[in-house]
Amino acid sequence: MKLNLKIWRQESKESKGKFVDYSVDNISEEASFLEMLDTLNESLVSKNSVPVAFDHDCREGICGMCSLVINGEPHGPEKATTTCQLHMRHFKDGDTITIEPWRAQAFPVIKDLTTDRSAFDKIMQSGGFVTARTGSAVDANEIPIPKEVADKAMDAAACIGCGACVAACPNASAMLFTGAKVSHLNSLPQGKAEKERRSLLMVQAMDEAGFGGCTNIGACESVCPKSINLDVIAQLNRDYHSSSFKKIMQF
């Protein structure tokens, strides 16, 4: 099929970007969206033009490296699907597709469609862990965890840290991302000891990184390629407030 593309080009963080029109032909329906962009880039290279920079790596929907706002939607039109797993059979011959980077103050553009998401790592470094030094663990079956609890933790732990939730949110809030990690670790017995500390520090790190507040819009949930549920935000709020209260009252 033949497609018209409107792609955001921006040389560097400092420079001003703009949309540039391209067209690609002979795209197979079986191809993935990123393979379509590979084809565009190969044709740009053959004309000695600089190809479009975009982040990608595993191309199986798990590393969280790929991004792209496609026709206004982070990761494109398919539900629960990362850009790398989006296939061209979901588009029609002659379609015009607009492709932009994640847009959020905390995710500055590095080049074209590539953004800097290191703010997510900062949040994790502040408390997204269980302090468990190598070699200090008890036997894995020592603490039974009910299946329902383990499953719920796994649902939250499935987050791939791509940042679509931030890109979709009008406030550029990172509550779904942060809530997913807090929910994963705070639900498990192993994470209980640091539950309060974690909740407070991660929210603080999130605010410091320049993410906005949550106003319960829910756009994050609807674009999340791993279907992380808004419940994780509820749990984050609950754990954050109870931890703050305890801290203020010095319990």
Partner 1 sequence: MNLDSKIPEGPLSEKWSNHKFNMRLVNPANRRKYHVIVVGSGLAGSSAAASLAEQGYNVSCFCYQDSPRRAHSIAAQGGINAAKNYQNDGDSVQRLFYDTIKGGDYRSREANVYRLAEVSTKIIDQCVSQGVPFAREYGGLLANRSFGGAQVSRTFYARGQTGQQLLLGAYSSLNRQIGLGKVTMYTRHEMLDVVVVGGHAKGIIVRNLVTGEITRHAADCVVLASGGYGNVFYLSTNAQACNVTATYRAYKRGAGFANPCFTQIHPTCIPVHGEDQAKLTLMSESLRNDGRVWVPKSKELAEKIRSGEINPNSIPEEDRDYYLERKYPSFGNLAPRDISSRSAKEVCDEGRGVASTGLGVYLDFRDAIIRDGEQAIRERYGNLFEMYNRITGENPYQTPMMIFPAVHYTMGGLWVDYNLQSTIPGLFVAGEANFSDHGANRLGASALMQGLADGYFVVPYTVGNYLGELGIAEAGFSNTQEDAFEQVEAEVKQRIDQFMNMKGTRSPRSFHKELGQIIWNYCGMSRNQSGLNEAIEKLQKLKKEFWQNVLVVGKAEELNAELERAGRVADFIEFGELMCRDALMREESCGGHFREEHQTNEGEALRNDSDYAFVGVWEYKGEGQIPVLQKEDLAFENVALATRSYK
Given candidates 101, 104, 111, 228, which one binds partner 1 under the rule CB under 8 A? 111
Contacting partner 1 within 225-244 (CB under 8 A): none
Angstrom distance (rounded) from CA 210 to CA 88: 35
Tokens of 28: 């197979």
**Do 139 and 212 form a contact (C-beta atoms < 8 A)?**
no
Is residue 53 close enough to count as binding partner 1 by CB under 8 A? yes
- Among 231, 133, 136, which Cα is nearest to 175's? 231
Q: Indicate the SS3 state at residue 247.
A: helix
- Among 123, 120, 88, 125, which Cα is nearest to 3's? 88
Nearer residue to partner 1 within complex by CB, 21 or 139:
139
| Angle at 54 (CA atoms; ends 48, 59), nearest 5 degrees | 115
Q: How many CB atoms lie within 10 A of CB 2?
A: 11
- DSSP letter at 102 equals -
- Among 103, 60, 101, which Cα is nearest to 82's? 60
Angstrom distance (rounded) from CA 220 to CA 74: 10
Number of residues assigned to the chain: 251
Is residue 57 close enough to count as binding partner 1 by CB under 8 A? yes
Contacting partner 1 within 137-156 (CB under 8 A): 137-141, 143-147, 150-151, 153-154
Contacting partner 1 within 187-226 (CB under 8 A): 188, 190-191
From 61-69, 95-103, 169-177, 207-215, span contacting partner 1 (CB under 8 A)? 61-69
Is residue 24 close enough to count as binding partner 1 by CB under 8 A? no
Given candidates 1, 9, 17, 35, which one binds partner 1 under the rule CB under 8 A? 35
Contacting partner 1 within 160-179 (CB under 8 A): 160-161
- Among 105, 224, 99, which Cα is nearest to 161's? 224
Contacting partner 1 within 89-108 (CB under 8 A): 89
Number of residues forming the site for partner 1 (CB under 8 A): 80
Nearer residue to partner 1 within complex by CB, 191 or 212:
191
Is residue 61 close enough to count as binding partner 1 by CB under 8 A? yes
Is residue 51 close enough to count as binding partner 1 by CB under 8 A? yes
In whole angstroms, the minimum distance from the beta carbon of 17 to partner 1 comes to 14
Nearer residue to partner 1 within complex by CB, 154 or 234:
154
In whole angstroms, the minimum distance from the beta carbon of 125 to partner 1 comes to 4
